[in-house]
Amino acid sequence: MDLLKTTQLLTDEYSVKILTATVRKARSAQDISNRFGIPIAACYRRIKELEAAGLLVCQERRLSQRGKRVSFYISMLKNAYVFFEDGNLRVKFQLKTGGADRFGNDWHEVKLLPSDEDGRDE
């Protein structure tokens, strides 16, 4: 997943609710759905997107009383910074210790315009 799509996830209402719900404690999709009023199908879609972005991980799987495997997810996001200045978007993500930090610890430029356009008026 590219940086722009990852940044867009942070402005999505359901994604923010999922990350907030799982910042301190691992929770199941059903629990998140019930607590935050997120339709269960949308909850699973956002969880999949957040996992692909590296912002959420399945911490454990447990058997329910009915014998069904239930996944419990936890947020890996510690901090996220989005900075827009003079037509440039810069982002920085910091993940919790132990996470596979594919973002590094630096600011990243996000290309908003195709390379042949520089945003200047002629």
50-90 per-position pLDDT tens digit: 999 889 999 999 998 899 999 999 999 888 888 887 888 88
Arithmetic mean of pLDDT, 22-49: 97
What distance in Å separates the CA atoms of residue 82 and residue 67, rounded to the nearest whole number?
Answer: 43
Domain assignments of the chain as residue spans, ordered by start = 3-77, 78-110
Q: Which two tokens stand for residue 94?
A: 């910091």
What amino acid occupies position 77? L
Its pTM stands at 0.76
Q: Which one of 3.30.1370.60, 1.10.10.10, 1.25.40.80, 3.40.50.300 gives the CATH number of domain 3-77? A: 1.10.10.10
Residue 77 near residue 55, CB atoms below 8 Å: yes
Q: Which two tokens stand for residue 18?
A: 């999922």
pLDDT value at 116 more than 80: no
What amino acid occupies position 42? A
